[in-house]
């Protein structure tokens, strides 16, 4: 199977227009048509249905199935290319959120051997959500992440390294001040500024 053929089909499944796909990839319409034909020959079935006017198309059941998997397959190839590129350059890309990074390095400041070891890696800074996205896309190989809830993903191996209680300080007039502990999902949907009010007397609220 030609990966380019799959890219053309994936775009066609979204746009439902040979003209638009050809324009997107700067190729002729017959090029896109031949790509779809090769895929149909490969799978031994029709993937698209051309309307009588030839102005529009629709996907067959088999075409819908291929569409459902095509983007995942293409993403995996991108991830593979990046992983091979990292291996060839003998460079491991590690993600570190700024707060975690400063905390880790502050404890290792006198550990020269460890600092020398870490310097061999390419460190990538960013928020945990940003680093998670890069991790899933293959842009980085490993990352430390902060998360309020347990992180679970079928394409990741996750290990809990550290767990810490999180406190929010609220006014004693706040109804939550009567509670000592709750789950984050049970917190009311209030603006962040509500929690930041400067009030002389306050109480810690653990989540």
Confidence of residue 44 (pLDDT cuts 50, 70, 90): very high
Burial, 159: exposed, middle or buried (Cβ in 10 Å; 0-12, 13-18, 19+)?
exposed
Domain residue extents for the chain: 3-82, 91-164, 167-206
Highest mean pLDDT among 94-108, 128-142, 181-195: 128-142
Phi, psi angle pair for 181, to nearest 5°: -160, 145
DSSP string, 116-172: HHHTTSEEEE--HHHHHHHHHHTS-SEE----SS----TT-----------EEEEET
Q: Say what the pLDDT of residue 65 is.
A: 92
All residues at 6 or more sequence positions from 95 whose CB lies less than 8 Å from its CB, including other chains: 123, 124, 125, 126, 131, 134, 135, 140, 142, 143, 144, 145
Overall average pLDDT of the 57-71 stretch: 90
Residue 37 has pLDDT above 90, yes or no: yes
Q: Say what the pLDDT of residue 195 is.
A: 46
Fold of 3-82: Arc Repressor Mutant, subunit A (1.10.10)
Q: Which two tokens stand for residue 180?
A: 């000592």
Confidence of residue 199 (pLDDT cuts 50, 70, 90): very low
Task: List pLDDT tens digits, range 162-184.
Answer: 777 766 676 777 776 676 655 55
Instruction: Give pTM, 2 decimals.
Output: 0.47
Q: Say what the pLDDT of residue 35 is.
A: 93
């Amino acid at each position: 199977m030609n990966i380019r053929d799959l890219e053309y089909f994936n775009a066609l499944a979204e746009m439902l227009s040979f003209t638009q796909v050809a324009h997107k990839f700067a190729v002729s319409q017959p090029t896109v048509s031949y790509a779809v034909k090769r895929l149909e020959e490969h799978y031994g079935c029709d993937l698209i249905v051309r309307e009588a006017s030839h102005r529009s198309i629709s996907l067959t059941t088999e075409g819908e199935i291929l569409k459902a998997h095509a983007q995942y397959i293409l993403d995996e190839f991108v991830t593979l290319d990046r992983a091979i590129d990292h291996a060839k350059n003998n460079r491991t890309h590690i993600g570190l959120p700024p707060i975690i990074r400063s905390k880790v390095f502050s404890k290792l400041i006198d550990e020269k051997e460890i600092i020398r070891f870490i310097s061999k890696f390419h460190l990538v800074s960013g928020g945990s959500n940003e680093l998670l996205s890069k991790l899933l896309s293959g842009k980085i190989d490993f990352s430390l992440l902060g998360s309020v809830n347990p992180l679970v993903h079928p394409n990741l191996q996750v290990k809990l390294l550290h767990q810490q209680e999180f406190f929010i300080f609220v006014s004693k007039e706040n109804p939550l001040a009567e509670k000592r502990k709750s789950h984050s999902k049970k917190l009311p949907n209030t603006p962040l500024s509500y929690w930041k009010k400067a009030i002389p007397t306050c109480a810690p609220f653990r989540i």
